[in-house]
């Protein structure tokens, strides 16, 4: 089945998503922050969609187990961001609590995708693992976990920022890999031994 959006376009969206996540470290305009976050989530979805074409050749079950949660969690987070535009204090109250769970689901889904992608080997394993680990570490900075805050910064503040930086870089690199056509099934050691035995 032919993909509706070319892989290069999906890869470029992944690069953009990783780049705008990293842009938060260099003074991205606060009023454009919702757009930045939406582009980040869309970039992750784009990478997952592009990777899903070759991944089922290795394991369709594993590919689905990572792609579906990432898509659903990202879509929920995007919806929350859009509904929060114009609200005076979107991070407080029940709406803020919903945003916390949406954000947590997004980070966990990204970590799951990273671990599964590393297992399947279609995407760069080291970048996939970086995405998984960075996403898990980034969770430590979420406000409602109270591990750190602006008023009471702790060691978890720089740790969480490092996780975000690693995850953003990983999304950027995975998007770049897809954009240049480098996402394809790779033979495992078992495959190589089997091929040599038949030669």
Does the pLDDT of residue 195 top 60, yes or no? Answer: no
Report how far apart the first and last C-alpha atoms of the chain are (Å, whole number). Answer: 32
Q: How far apart are CA 160 and CA 60, in angstroms?
A: 33
Q: Residue 189: inside a domain, yes or no?
A: yes
Q: How many domains does the chain have?
A: 1
Closest CA to 183 of 14, 2, 1: 14
Does the pLDDT of residue 194 top 70, yes or no? Answer: no
Q: Residue 62: inside a domain, yes or no?
A: yes
Q: Residue 46: inside a domain, yes or no?
A: yes
What is the percent of the chain with per-residue pLDDT over 90, rounded to a whole number?
73
Q: Residue 179: inside a domain, yes or no?
A: yes
Q: Residue 2: inside a domain, yes or no?
A: no
- Please provide residue 153's backbone torsions phi and psi, each rounded to the nearest 5 degrees: -65, 140
Contact (Cβ atoms closer than 8 angstroms) between residue 139 and residue 113: no
Q: Residue 1: inside a domain, yes or no?
A: no
Mean pLDDT of the chain: 89
pLDDT tens digits for range 134-172: 999 999 999 899 899 888 889 999 999 999 999 999 999
Contact (Cβ atoms closer than 8 angstroms) between residue 167 and residue 161: no
- DSSP letter string over 94-130? HHHHHHHHHHHHHHHHHHHHHHHHHHH-SS-HHHHHH
Q: Residue 32: inside a domain, yes or no?
A: yes
DSSP-derived secondary structure letter, 152: S
Predicted TM-score of the model (pTM): 0.87
Which pair of tokens denotes residue 193?
């031994």
Binning the chain into helix, strand and coil, the percentages to the nearest 5 are 75, 0, 25
Q: Which domain holds residue 116?
A: 7-198
pLDDT tens digits for range 39-94: 999 999 999 999 998 998 899 999 999 999 999 999 999 999 999 998 988 999 99
- CA distances to 37, 172, 186 from 199, in Å: 51, 39, 19
Which pair of tokens denotes residue 53?
């074409």
Q: How far apart are CA 71 and CA 66, in angstroms?
A: 9
Q: How far apart are CA 195 and CA 75, in angstroms?
A: 42
């Amino acid at each position: 089945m032919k993909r509706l959006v070319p892989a290069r376009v999906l890869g470029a969206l992944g690069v953009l998503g990783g780049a705008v996540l990293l842009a938060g470290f260099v003074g991205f305009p606060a009023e454009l922050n919702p757009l930045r976050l939406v582009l980040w989530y869309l970039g992750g979805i784009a990478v997952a969609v592009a990777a899903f074409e070759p991944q089922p050749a290795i394991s369709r079950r594993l590919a689905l187990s990572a792609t579906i949660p990432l898509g659903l969690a990202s879509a929920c987070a995007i919806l929350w961001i859009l509904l929060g535009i114009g609200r005076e204090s979107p991070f407080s109250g029940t709406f803020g609590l919903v945003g916390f769970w949406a954000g947590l689901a997004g980070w966990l889904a990204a970590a799951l995708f990273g671990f599964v992608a590393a297992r399947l080997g279609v995407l760069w394993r080291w970048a996939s693992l970086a995405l998984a680990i960075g996403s898990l570490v980034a969770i430590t900075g979420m406000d409602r976990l109270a591990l750190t805050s602006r008023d009471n910064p702790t060691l978890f503040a720089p740790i969480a920022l490092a996780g975000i930086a690693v995850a953003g870089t990983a999304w950027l690199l995975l998007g770049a890999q897809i954009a240049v056509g480098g996402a394809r099934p790779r033979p495992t050691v078992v495959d190589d031994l089997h091929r040599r035995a038949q030669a």
